[in-house]
Structure formats: C-alpha cells, structure tokens
Structure 1
Amino acid sequence: MIAKLGVEELRTLLSTSLPDAQDADTVRPDVTTLFTPDSHRLALNVDTTVVKGGRGVGKTFWFRSLLEDQLRAVAADEYRIDRLAHVTAHPGYGADNLPEHYPGSAELHDLVDRGIDPRHLWDAVLLTTLDVPELKNISSWGERVRWTREHPAERDRTIAETDRQAAADGTLRLVLFDALEHLHHNRRQADQLVRGILQLALELRLSTRNIRFKVFIRPDMLDGALSFPDASKLAANAASLKWSTTNLYGLLFHYLGNNKNSPVVERFRAAVPGWIEATSERHLPPPFLLGDEQQQTELFTAIAGPYMGANFRKGHTYTWLPNHLMDGAEQVSPRSFLSALTKAVEETIARYAAHEYAIHHEGIRRGVQAASATRVAEIKEDLPWVPVAIAPLTGQQVPIDESAVIHLWTESGLTETLRQQTEYRLEGKAPNGKVRTGPRYPDRYPELIEELIELGVMRRRKDGRIDLPDVYRIAFSIGRKGGVPKVKS
C-alpha cells in the first residue's frame, strides 16, 4: 500500500508526525490535528451536558476545540450537528488562567476558605459570561459573588432575557467546564464545587432552551458530585469519550496525512488513494482508513510488519498494541496509544535502524512498557489509594484467585492504610500539598475489588479469577506467564 515510500522516509514521517508531548496542557488543537472519531458525536451534541472521560481521552482537547470558532465549525460540519454551528462558546472553568472569565487558583481557594456557597460562585461566573454590566465593572470575584447573591431577581431576569435573545438570533450560549480536578486540593471541597456546577447546569437545562453548560469530567469526580435532587437526569444523558481500535488507528493515519512540515506527506497520501482535501490545511483520510479493520491492518503491517516476532504465535502487530494498552473496561486512551508509538519509533531509530520495517516489534513492546509507567504515574496523582491497594500484590502472577487477593490484603493490614487515605480526604489534610483520597469501602475487600474493577484497574475473568490489564500490571511489577515484562529501572 505504501511501497513507494522508503523505510527511512516512512520512519521520518512517523517521528515528525506523532506529537512530542502527550500532555493536553502543552498540545493545543489546531485544524490539522483535529480528529473527529464517530464515537464522539454524542459528546459534542449541545444538549449533552456531562461528558465523562479518564486521563488522556480528549476532554481538554474538545474543551479547547469548542472554544475556537474555526475548530467548532469543523466539528459541526463533520459531525453534521447544525446547532453546533450556531454556538457562542465561553469558558466557565479550565486549566488556563483566565481571571476575567472565572476565579484563578489563589482567588478560588480564598473564596472556598471564606465559606462561599458554590451555587452563588457559579451564578457569578454565568452572569459575567452573560455580560451583566454591574459585574463587568467589578474586578474581585468575591465582590461579584456578593453582588449576585444580593440580586436574585436580576439574576433570574438576565437568564430569561438572554434565553429569549438567543432564540431570536438563532444562537445558543454554551459555557464549557474542564480541569475540575484542579478546583481545590481538598477532594471534599472539589466535590462541592463540582456539585454546584452540575446543579446550575441542570437548572439551565430544565428552564432554558438556549443556554447550556457542557462539563468535561472524570467518572470518579462525577460519582462524588451527583448527590442532589434530580441529578439522575444528568447522569442518564451523559456521554463518554470512548475510542475503538479503528478510531485509534484512524487518529494515527490522520496525523500521518496532515504533517504539513514533512516533504513526503504528499507521497504518503498519494500512496493511499481516497484522501479528501477539506481545506488547504486539512486532509481527511479515506473512509476505509477510519472504519475498516482489514484495510487498517494492511497499512499498519506495511509500517510495523505483520507479527510481534518471528511468526503469528507472537501476536499480530495491529491487534497486539491496543490489546496491551487496554484497561479493565477494554478502553485505550489515545494518549497512551500515541505515546507508545512515539517510544516505539524512538527505540527503532536508536536500536534497530537496519530493520526492514519503519517500526520494530521490540520497539512496540518498549512503547507499551513506557505507556504503562505513565498510566500508573497518572493514577497515583488522580487516585493515590489505588497503588496502595495494588502494592501487596507486587511479585504475584495474574490471573489470581479473589481469595488470594483478600489474603494478601489482610496480611498487609491494608484496611488501616486505606483508612488513613480516607481520613486525609475527609479532614482536608494535604501533606506536601497533595490531596489524599480513599475508596468507598476500605474495610470491605470484596467491594474494594469491585471498585477497582469499575475503575478499570482490575477485571474479573469468566472463571472468577482476578486479572490486571497490562497497562497497569507491567508498571506495578505483577507478572503474567508469557506476558510483557515489567519496566526495568
């Protein structure tokens, strides 16, 4: 399929097309990198309020894309969402420091410490977004919250008038929220702030037709905030940012075909006919490279060879890579997928430069090891109690009987350790500035296993034994006969 490209040319195309940094805070979306997987259409529907997703699945990418007029127009066109093309988008909260739109980190912490009601805070953010003159002339968010609290009639009237004006103009006001894990270092306070956002989002959903919130949120944070009347109405209509195997490879080929700085990108597109030039800057892969596993397999085989070794018994490269990056819910984040490929290319260039394919299968193995280490580092930040729970299993082999897991936890005194984690969350203690969180049931091990399964860290086999997916198992130093070896220090 790409025989006209030499191995070195293809290797260079790969190394220059894959993003250097996989951190959403450093990689900004643009018209060439905007990829629209079919599974994300529901998430971009303007009436979808809650969009769930773990680390690296695209929450911040879509948050920032929807704030950009050009990127939002591209998404509206390619997803065929007409209403999205008539949106005025505003940031309600995010990782960027935008004190004119929402309180910055220091001011937000001060407001929380002063006991500000989260509902009044987000009311102030909303009214500022809706251009209430009195608020535009106030620089302090504390004073904006006070004014909002003291003028409830003006608040209701502004929302109603904005809704009517938007209907007359044929537009929709969309307020976007992201990076909610950064709201406060104390998880209980963060949950209360998120709950305030969701309560206001539900009110607008029920009382207006043309003002909407869209909240990008981790599933564990959503679970902690849905404790108010009618919250189920938001949960029932939530969307998840999921990626199929064909989505992941479609993203890879999209990157390869949109590398405007590569001298061989035009030859790559010519070697795979069917590319659509949407604009001078944007080329869309042919449909068969987005949704046909056989065609994708043929192209990736030309890039990385057919097998993860000498023959098919070692595994097929196309399926091996995503299969070993899946969590327990059989989901792969594009960040893990692309970072594994980036590492695979780097390893090939450094150690297997004479290989007949652009990517060596040992490079793919090392890429998976690196992605595993990154994923475990992320979950240590998000849910510090998880590695504490997995630590007693270090050196074991999976799959493992549930009774053996419970025995190891009992022998290690895990309950007391996890209770300490939970106490930090409830009391707001933050040693070294780090928040501590705990599981729902630190002393009920069967429920603890189920919680880890919900998080995708564990999974249960049909015979009842407990397994860990490779994306966690490798970096946690847990073995599997014939599996990918753990990361060596």
Structure 2
Amino acid sequence: MSFRTRSTPSKSEDVIAIREAIARFDPSASTTIVGEDKAKPRDVFAPTAHSKALDPATTLVLGARGAGKSFWASALFNDDTRRLAAVLYPRLGLDRLRVQIGFGGVGRAGVSKAVIDRLVPLGQEKTAADRFWQAVIAGAALTVTEPGQKHAATDMLERFADPEDWADAMTEVDNDLTSRGETLLIVFDALDAISDDWGRLSGLIDALMRSVWDLRGFNAIRAKLFMRPDQLNELTLRFVELPKLRSGAAKLGWKQADLYGLMFARLAFDDEAEEAFGSFLESRGLGKPPEEQEELRTWTLANNESQQQRLFEAMAGSFMGKGPRKGKTFDWPYNHLADGLGDVTPRSFLILMQSAAERSGERDADGLVLLPQTIRDGLREASKVRIEQLNTEYPWIKRVLQPLAGLRVPAAPQVFFDAWKENATVEAAVKIARKENSLPPVQARSARNNVNSDREADLAERLIKMGVLTSRPDGRYDMPDLFRVGAALLKKGGVTPKA
C-alpha cells in the first residue's frame, strides 16, 4: 500500500469513501482452506491473544462459529498468509513450518468425506477409524521425504498394514525435519463436515484425537484440530486423554479492542478508501495508517482502546442518543453482540458495521460515517444472520424460538415452559432433529421413564449451554440481544425487533 496525503482533502468525500468501504465488508462469507475463499493477506489481522492458537505446539483450537477457525487454518496452510503471520507472530517459528491438510471439508483440502465413508464404513468407526487417520497422517508426512509423489489414503492403508512400518516411516520423516530445523503441521478443520450422523462423527473424531495424541512421540511432527466448543461438549467423545487435550486448548476469543483493530485495519488497506482514511486520521491527530501489514503489530489503532474510541466517536458521534443514557457508540456494539457465554465474533461485529454503513448512506448522515440509529439497525441484521447460521447446526432452533416471539424478558422460567408446552415445541424439535439427522435438543427418554413434565426445563438448559439463553441470579431467564432481536422477544429499554 502506498499512502499519499492529499493537499486539499474534502471532509465530506472522506466520510463517504470510508462509509462505502465499510459497506463493502463481506463478513458473512465463509473462509475455506483452499480455493477462491481462502485467507488473503489483506484480511490478516493478528490479535495478540491468538498467538497460542497459531502455535504449532497447540493441538486443539476452539472457537465459536464466525470466530476465525477456518481463516487461521487457511492462513497457516497458504504460503503468502503464513509468511505474513510469521512476521506478526515472530516467536512462533512459523517461517520454519511446513503445513499439510488432513481434512478441510472442501475439495482439494485433504481427505474427502467420500473417501472417509468408503474406507471407514458406517458402523466400523471403532475398528477401522484409527488405522484410517494414521494413513492420512502418513500421507501428509511423506510429502517431506517423498516429495512429488501421491500419497492417497487407500495406498497408505495398504503400505502400512504393519504398524511397525508406519512407525519407521514417521521416524524417518521426523529425523529429516529435525535435521533441517523444520516442523510439519497437519491441519484438521471443518470437522463437523466429516459426517452428518452425530454418532458416527463422535467415533471418527475420537479416533482422530487418539491418532493425533500419539504424535507426541515425535519431535517435529504436529497436528492442529480446529473445533467449535459446543461440538466438543456435545459429541459423546470417549478419548481418555481428552481432559489433557482440552486443558491445553487455545480459544479464539475477541476483545473489543481486537474487533475495532480488525475493522480499522480493513479500512487502512482498502484500495479505494486508504487515502480518505489516512486523511480522516491525520485531521483528527490520530497519525497515519500503516503502509504495510507488517506494521499492524505496532500501529496504535490496532489495540489501543482509548485511541480507537477517539476515532470511532469521530465516525459515529459519542452517544447512541442525545446523551450518555443510551450508551456510548464505541461500547454499544460489543455489549449488544455477546452471546450468553460472553463471546463476540468478528462475523457479527462486521455484519453490524456493514449494515450500519449501508443504511447511513441511505440517510442524511450529517457528516458522520455511521449514524447511531443505523448501528441499532445493524444489530437487527447481525441477530437475523446469527440465527440463520445457528440453524445450519441446529435445524430445530427456529422452531424452538418461534413460540417465544412477543415475550418480554427477563421472565420466569415457567413463562418459557408454558409457551413451549402450548406449541408442543419439544416434540416438534425432536422430530426435526431426527429428520435432519442432527443432535437433538433434549436427550431421549426411556420407555419406562417417558415423562415430558420437565423436558422444557431440559430444553432451557440446553439453550443456556449454547449461549442462547442466560439464567439470572434471581432465577429468571434472559436472552442476549444477539438472539433476542432476531427471535422477536421484547425487553424494556432494549432494541425492538423491528425498526
């Protein structure tokens, strides 16, 4: 990027250019390890807290949907983004890393689901999956000592029918890497795409974790699994070392300063808005944007909340209303986008900002980049999108939320239970889960104990674990705005579901 200060900047033109750049954000797009949607250097932003997630020594990385799991998996695999990450995280040794894909959920990204289904038939997860994952790991490892050759899983299973042959080959790879001072990292992402059946998925991931755990015996061969926390919690995993794996896991969390840093970095490297953004900063005494992404580590607006607040208030004003009673514009998005577990994802944050920018462009913004009222509108869009995304994993979630529309929260648990009972919600949700072959909303009851009186309470507990509901100290249930607005529940003083 080449920043040029204009001699006669127009404030109104700068505002329009910045607003249009925010409106061009594409936060809802999913990253894939390879292909057109792979991670790109211009989108790399490296929060300090994510260092552990990228560390080759960290095996398990946990993150909610939209937190950046697939982005970092892709950034590690692709050479250009890995080189940039090596500069932004200089202590991790990413410049001495070789990366292969074990599973990525898309074509050309490791072994495919079709191959898994063929080589580990349904019902044979306990007997065939361990050898299968060892074959996948061997195929990735042999790219070091046998470059240019194909190492299909079928061939690896035949070649390493004797476990001693597998150990010998892996030792040879390990010695080769060690002599070069390099490390091989095998990445497994999009693990929910391995199977549509949760029972089968549990068996396959159990076996994968056992195979990955066994790599501890090597010096320079590592694996990294990217998973959602709910996936890890809800699968019936029996891997005995799971507590140790979980205790060493990294979580892809995003603080408020990280999210604003991400947003401002995207503006700094937007080809059409870089000059306007630079002029906007300088006119307010906030310095210049970085010219190269390597400078993000030391750029004040990447992590300094007080400076970030100065900038955002210049863009959107200080308050969400006429005074502080309605909240500060800087804090409001983060406070209203958290789920019940306290997590805010870049996807939700950028959707809010992108929607606010679009709506501000349609109104008389009075010199502001974003109008406070459009930030509220952006929350409505982020909430709608978040529920749609949640529905891809839990196809019964809309049916569960539908009877709650119009309720005012916080409310006593019985208010929720009555709404669900009146609409036979639990039974309907269980049928949807069975039809879609997804994890059910509540555990099945035995024929001897087929009592439905507390199934609504079970459903509420399930939603609390998912972060869709929260339980207050006084026992009442509440719903975070991230879901409440899209589900059309009401709250005194809160954002209404419809503008």
Question: Secondary structure of the equivalent of 1:355?
Answer: coil
**Which residue does 2:112 correspond to in 1?**
104
Pick from 363, 385, 398: which aligns with 2:396? 385
Aligned-residue offset at 1:282: 5.2
Pick from 96, 103, 109: which aligns with 1:86? 96
- 1:366-419, Cα deviation, whole Å (9 max, x unpaired): 111111100000111112233333333222111011232233333433343344
State the distance in 1 between where 2:377 and 2:226 align. Answer: 32
Aligned-residue offset at 1:222: 1.6
CA RMSD of aligned residues (A): 2.7
Percent identity over the alignment?
29
- TM-score scaled by length of structure 1: 0.88
Partner AA of 1:323 in structure 2: N
State the distance in 2 between where 1:155 and 1:181 align. Answer: 28
Q: 8 Å contact 2:268–2:289 — kept in the other structure?
A: no
Aligned-residue offset at 1:199: 1.5
State the distance in 1 between where 2:56 and 2:425 align. Answer: 44
Q: 8 Å contact 1:72–1:84 — kept in the other structure?
A: yes
Q: 1:209 to 1:340 in 2, by over 3 A?
A: same
Aligned-residue offset at 1:95: 3.3
Instruction: Indicate yes or no: 2:30 matched with 1:24.
Output: yes
Equivalent positions of 1:214-229 (< 5 A) are 214-223=224-233, 224=235, 226-229=237-240
Q: 8 Å contact 1:50–1:237 — kept in the other structure?
A: yes
Instruction: Indicate yes or no: 2:289 matched with 1:284.
Output: no
Q: 8 Å contact 1:43–1:240 — kept in the other structure?
A: yes
Q: 1:139 to 1:61 in 2, by over 3 A?
A: closer
Aligned-residue offset at 1:27: 4.7
**Which residue does 1:40 correspond to in 2?**
50
Q: 8 Å contact 1:248–1:337 — kept in the other structure?
A: yes
Pick from 437, 440, 458: which aligns with 2:439? 437
- 1:437-458, Cα deviation, whole Å (9 max, x unpaired): 2135465444433332221111
Aligned-residue offset at 1:40: 0.9
Aligned-residue offset at 1:22: 2.5
State the distance in 2 between where 1:60 and 1:293 align. Answer: 27
**Which residue does 2:14 correspond to in 1?**
9
Greater CA deviation, 106-115 or 188-197? 106-115
Greater CA deviation, 101-110 or 291-300? 101-110
Structure 1: runs of 5 or more not aligned: 425-430
Question: Secondary structure of the equivalent of 1:331?
Answer: coil
Partner AA of 1:437 in structure 2: L
Equivalent positions of 1:12-411 (< 5 A) are 12-16=17-21, 18-25=24-31, 27-98=37-108, 102-113=110-121, 115=124, 117-131=128-142, 141=153, 143-144=154-155, 146-147=157-158, 150-205=161-216, 207-223=217-233, 224=235, 226-262=237-273, 263-268=275-280, 270-271=282-283, 273=286, 277=290, 279=292, 283-284=295-296, 287-350=299-362, 352-411=363-422
State the distance in 1 between where 2:388 and 2:55 align. Answer: 32
State the distance in 2 between where 1:282 and 1:77 align. Answer: 6
Q: 8 Å contact 2:278–2:288 — kept in the other structure?
A: no
Q: 1:208 to 1:412 in 2, by over 3 A?
A: same
Aligned-residue offset at 1:333: 0.7
Greater CA deviation, 286-295 or 218-227? 286-295
- 1:127-174, Cα deviation, whole Å (9 max, x unpaired): 111227999867864x33641562322111112222222222111110
Aligned-residue offset at 1:363: 1.4
Question: Secondary structure of the equivalent of 1:81?
Answer: helix
Structure 2: runs of 5 or more not aligned: 1-7, 445-453
State the distance in 2 between where 1:60 and 1:85 align. Answer: 20
Question: Secondary structure of the equivalent of 1:29?
Answer: coil
Instruction: Indicate yes or no: 2:458 matched with 1:456.
Output: no
Greater CA deviation, 307-316 or 120-129? 307-316
- TM-score scaled by length of structure 2: 0.86
State the distance in 1 between where 2:339 and 2:106 align. Answer: 29
Q: 1:318 to 1:265 in 2, by over 3 A?
A: closer
How many residue pairs get aligned? The number is 471
State the distance in 1 between where 2:204 and 2:330 align. Answer: 43
State the distance in 2 between where 1:221 and 1:444 align. Answer: 22
